[in-house]
Structure 1
């Protein structure tokens, strides 16, 4: 699945509510506990279906007083409530608040608090709110809160948007771009707006995310498909797809997923990146940034920038250019630049 972390300090991650609504369990938590909820939570696998977790900072003047909201598709039993309480030890002794959220309130709830995000030149708003408030000259995208991650309201996505904007302002140009773990398609849309002549492919391990990307593309007048200026969409884990292999090497690769997969995919991404190419990584905690950067240094990439949007890092790495091979090169053929072979494991 695509990949903004759970525990969104801004809005959280809405899901498709059942026809009779959902149930919300609310507990206080600390900032540290909220950050911890951004990682993988194996204990949630004990619940079927697992709840959707949302964290928020109700009062900016009380930076350590956060709130956890857990949304269930059915009324949770005592065991489920205990499991959620165990995630936030600071709430011991606090009675959890449990309430039913009717279906007719879900859309309103999912859009509440989704103030437009301004990152670089980009203005990201929901279809219902914020379009008219966009600053002059901004690039606007309407992205609905819904079935996929990547609405732009989490700092990881906003950080990637800001990074892309800075690269364009600095004069960088890219002709072959991949967005891995695209979620809602937003980062691929943003890249296309910055480099309209580039070939762009967006992938996600979750077929639902690709469906959502198609819907968002239509809403934002972004063409999808294999046409030269369209965004090609692929369901794949990492770069494990013939189309993704065939289109490599990439001079810009974006991956807003989680720290664990980013480390595992380091050899794959490094191999798929052209010499001198740019890699943008997000979806990791600050405490995970060094481990992720180290995994890519071992693959011949250097860390060019470690930027934060809020408390979440966005890493920009550059693949070192290959040294020219000794000896004579045939006219018109670059020697020593390496190549991408579809026979290699991805």
Structure 2
């Protein structure tokens, strides 16, 4: 059986709690968090939901409650706990998401039909334990940025997708630059079989050659395979602002001179810190876009990495 902890609060309070979750370095990743509006006609009434594959312990409920520590007392929500039918609780948190269209890309779960319009790149990505079905503003923003880079004439021969999740952004890079070598990595081992299944579903070849994808499990860029397959002329990292800042030197070293770095997972309020860290490493902004509250950055390596 699985369980869910719910907390109803105004939108601003739930959004603040989601930010607190991102900053919680000791968060138990067996607890999956999501926030959403209750109904379309009640846009300011939101609910934060936390899914667990076990009966919530006192410490679990306390961890969720701490996300609201900054809320005014009158808005601090009460937590409700309910037992759910036996199901894949992580997948349930991502089901019934509508397809998206961004640039030339159409991304949908298998519950929806493909878009066979000429010029459309269609991906079917099932809801799964890995992040990145395309509906989140950061993933959709990365797809739009990659599409814009292609239209501006960017050439990619060797690409790396850090924190790949479902593999979607690596697939997109290969769709845009079909003769490139591609590497995908994630710190979470559950992503490896997810990427392999999604590659088979979407006709993406696995292997080390041109037009093929290699998947590995690694923290950041710290893996012999990632080092051996570099340097890269495209690195994509849709993770979180803190790791983006910490990894800026590694990104710079992994890129060829003139190479491109696409960063996402940072709020617009966190953009300055990320750009400052990258600027110290010789990475300069080529373009940015904002999708909702999130910034997506395209930076270029202007000088040889140290």
- What TM-score does the superposition give when structure 2 sets the normalisation length? 0.88
Distance 1:92 1:258 in 2: 27
Residue in 2 aligned with 1:196? Answer: 178
| Match for residue 56 of structure 1 among 20, 33, 36 | 36
CA contact (8 A) 2:181 2:208 kept: no
Determine helix, strand or coil for the equivalent of 1:55: strand
CA contact (8 A) 1:123 1:134 kept: no
| Match for residue 82 of structure 2 among 99, 105, 109 | 99
Shift of 1:104: 4.9
2:15 is the counterpart of 1:35: yes
230-239 vs 69-78, which moves further: 69-78
User: Comparing both chains, which one has the higher relative contact order based on Cα–Cα distances under 8 Å and sequence gaps of 6 or more?
Assistant: 1
Determine helix, strand or coil for the equivalent of 2:266: coil
Change (3 A) 1:92 1:222: same
Change (3 A) 1:182 1:60: same
The runs of 5 or more residues in structure 2 that have no matched partner are: none
Residue in 2 aligned with 1:291? Answer: 273
CA contact (8 A) 2:9 2:76 kept: no
Change (3 A) 1:80 1:185: closer
Shift of 1:179: 0.8
Shift of 1:317: 0.6
CA contact (8 A) 2:6 2:80 kept: yes
2:96 is the counterpart of 1:113: yes
Distance 1:250 1:105 in 2: 37
| Match for residue 6 of structure 2 among 26, 32, 35 | 26
Residue in 1 aligned with 2:56? Answer: 76
Determine helix, strand or coil for the equivalent of 2:190: helix
Change (3 A) 1:297 1:222: same
Residue in 2 aligned with 1:165? Answer: 147
The runs of 5 or more residues in structure 1 that have no matched partner are: 1-19, 323-337
Distance 1:32 1:43 in 2: 24
CA contact (8 A) 2:234 2:260 kept: yes
| Match for residue 180 of structure 1 among 162, 165, 173 | 162
Residue in 2 aligned with 1:261? Answer: 243
CA contact (8 A) 2:180 2:212 kept: no
Shift of 1:228: 2.5
Q: How many pairs were matched up?
A: 300
CA contact (8 A) 1:253 1:278 kept: yes
Cα distance per residue 1:180-211 (max 9 Å; x no partner): 11111100000000000111111112221122
Distance 1:27 1:171 in 2: 47
Cα distance per residue 1:46-79 (max 9 Å; x no partner): xxx7421111123455544321011122332455
| Match for residue 246 of structure 1 among 228, 235, 240 | 228
CA contact (8 A) 1:131 1:140 kept: no
Shift of 1:32: 3.5
Determine helix, strand or coil for the equivalent of 1:183: coil
Distance 2:120 2:202 in 1: 14
Determine helix, strand or coil for the equivalent of 1:57: strand
Distance 2:299 2:75 in 1: 43
The answer to which structure has the higher strand fraction is 2
